[in-house]
Structure 1
């Protein structure tokens, strides 16, 4: 009677173990599948990231280059060009933007975008944004012959209205003669300046000049440091 009892117990244990084994196999299959899927995702992400970084860096470098669509000079952006920048300009000046989703932000504000950017790789560049504000000087030339303009002024409009008995025949910008008429200068004249130096306009004259006989209009630069961020999502 003892032997049949052992066989019955063994049979019962075997039957009880079968469902547990099945569950274990199912769990193993699920875990393996998840592991393979995660590995595939990681590999795909690893393959995509270098390409995103390369494209983002190339676009960022193009936008801040001295001959780029936004630049006044290398790493200095012209505010007017920034204001006019859009998706068409982005795709025209950065052809990869036609194939990738690209976002361009300046000071945390998006200025151009192509496609839908949900993640991707970001490249930042520290730059200066330069805007220009029109200003007018009415120098008092009763005791001096010169007026000084700030650096980065590229041009000026000089208006000369001399009183009777006074003649102005030459205007110099530092060492350069920018206006000359031996018979006398009278009217408004466009003058080109060297933007990388402070400019002293000196008036060669005979007679007295009062305040208001000469006015100088120029664009004064205003610069701010900002961050340009290019995001590429492949």
Structure 2
């Protein structure tokens, strides 16, 4: 091959390599840019996560505390307070909720939210949710003079409507006299109970009582184990 031919071939190869070099530089720039962007995102996320966790933990601890807006005592939530909780109550009881997007859920159901939560950091707390359910008994006192109430009831309403010729003058709760009138009891009465024991209400009377002459209403507590979740998205 002559010198002229060699120079021509070398020039051709150099020209062919230029586009490949340009593509390589473009790819390198793109990869570098993506790497920097991912690093920036990771750093931003790393910076944000501890702050989200701190805020979420503080709000969760506030909500389950004995003096908090939801709890009857530490880690025991009052069902009626849970039902009434909303954004205004959240922001009033947990000021960071006015600066961050916060969601509060109990038993997988959101009860309050401030802002828009897309992801963020979740903090969970195990709680007991207590509710009160009113029940009414209409005991058949024709064959007995007592009715038994379950434990955990702190108070009962006893309504006595005796028929003509019948007098009820004393009501005992276990060994305690809770109502007494020698002339006769007639009407509705609030009776305190000891919530840590089963209570037997016994009616001292003269004459017959039929079903419906006495009714006993009481609040029956109900407790369920649930999870409270606070999510904070900064």
Question: TM class by shorter-chain length?
Answer: 0.7 to 0.9
For 2:143 and 2:205, how far apart are their aligned partners in 1?
13
Q: Give CA deviations for 1:189-212 in whole Å, capped at 9, x if unaligned.
A: 223334344333344x35346244
User: 1:128-167 alignment to 2 at 5 Å?
Assistant: 128-141=128-141, 144-162=144-162, 164=165, 166-167=167-168
For 1:195 and 1:63, how far apart are their aligned partners in 2?
26
Task: Check conservation: 1:145, 1:202, Cα contact below 8 A.
Answer: yes
Task: Check conservation: 2:166, 2:208, Cα contact below 8 A.
Answer: no
Matched, 1:112 2:112: yes
Matched, 1:93 2:84: no
1:123 deviates by 2.3
Per the alignment, residue 209 of structure 2 pairs with 210
Structure 1 stretches of 4+ moved >6 Å:
none
Query: Aligned pair in 2 of structure 1 residues 31, 229: CA closer, same or farther (>3 Å)?
Result: same
- Tell me how large the CA RMSD over aligned residues is: 2.8
Q: Point out where structure 1 has 5 or more consecutive residues left out of the alignment.
A: none
For 1:62 and 1:91, how far apart are their aligned partners in 2?
12
Per the alignment, residue 198 of structure 1 pairs with 198
Per the alignment, residue 59 of structure 1 pairs with 59
For 2:51 and 2:175, how far apart are their aligned partners in 1?
52
For 2:200 and 2:61, how far apart are their aligned partners in 1?
36
1:9 deviates by 2.4
Query: Aligned pair in 2 of structure 1 residues 44, 23: CA closer, same or farther (>3 Å)?
Result: same
Query: Aligned pair in 2 of structure 1 residues 176, 89: CA closer, same or farther (>3 Å)?
Result: farther
Q: TM-score, normalized by length of structure 2?
A: 0.82
Q: TM-score, normalized by length of structure 1?
A: 0.82
User: How many aligned positions are there?
Assistant: 232
1:172 deviates by 4.2
Q: Give CA deviations for 1:1-35 in whole Å, capped at 9, x if unaligned.
A: 82233233223322332332222222212211110
